[in-house]
Each structure stands twice: as C-alpha cells, then as structure tokens.
Amino acid sequence: MVVLKKLPASTLMETMVATVLIVVIFMMSSLIMNSLMATQVNANLSPVKEHLRGLEYEYLSQQLPLPYYEEWRGWNIAVTSGEDRQVPVVELRAVHLTSQKEVQTIVIPND
C-alpha cells in the first residue's frame, strides 16, 4: 500500500496574489499590443501613396485636368502646376485632415 504523504499547499492569499499578477501582466501586454497595432495602422501611408501614383499616371497620360482637388479617405489631395528653378513641374500633395501628415510628389512633365 502506498504511503500517503501530506503535500505542502498554497494558501488562498498566495493563489489570489498569483492570479492578480497574471491578470495584470496579460492586461499590460494586451495594451502594448493594441498601441503598437494602432500606431502601425496610423503610420501606414501606402494607400495614399498608391493613390498619388495613380493620379500621376492619369496626369502623364493627359487624363487629369489641372488644377485638381479631391478629398479621399480623410486626405485632402491637390495636384497643381508650378515652376522649380525655371523648370515646369507638377506637384501632387496629400495632407491628412486630422494628423496634418503630408505626402508630396513632384513630377517633371516630359513634353
């Protein structure tokens, strides 16, 4: 017959403290992950850059009248012509409505 030994057990207070520590650690890690994901989504400029490339293509194929203004997914987009050092250029500029981030592209027409 197996001899039954008494094993040391944790008290209720030790168990509660350990549970609270685990919950706090998981809560902090989920807040950090949420913050990282929100920052990544807000810093992603790829969609607006792709839209500006599309507008650039439309301009170069002479399908976009100048000046051109548009509001697109929270961005104010302006396509205007001007000069830079006596060279005619076309400026494509997008400014975010809330964060005021700016993306700018300059195109030198080939005609």
What are the CA-CA distances from residue 46 to residues 25, 51, 74 (Å)?
34, 9, 14
Per-residue pLDDT of the chain (111 residues; tens, 9 = 90+): 567 777 677 788 888 999 999 999 999 999 999 999 988 877 788 889 999 999 999 988 888 888 899 998 889 999 998 887 788 889 999 998 888 888 998 888 876
> Which pLDDT belongs to residue 81?
87
Question: Which tens digit of pLDDT belongs to each residue from 51-68?
Answer: 999 999 998 888 888 889
Classify burial at 26, counting beta carbons within 10 Å of its beta carbon; exposed 0-12, middle 13-18, buried 19 or more: exposed
Q: In a 3-state reduction of DSSP, which class is residue 6?
A: coil
How far apart are the two ends of the chain, measured CA to CA in Å?
100
Q: Find the angle CA(78)-CA(62)-CA(95) to the nearest 5 degrees.
A: 15
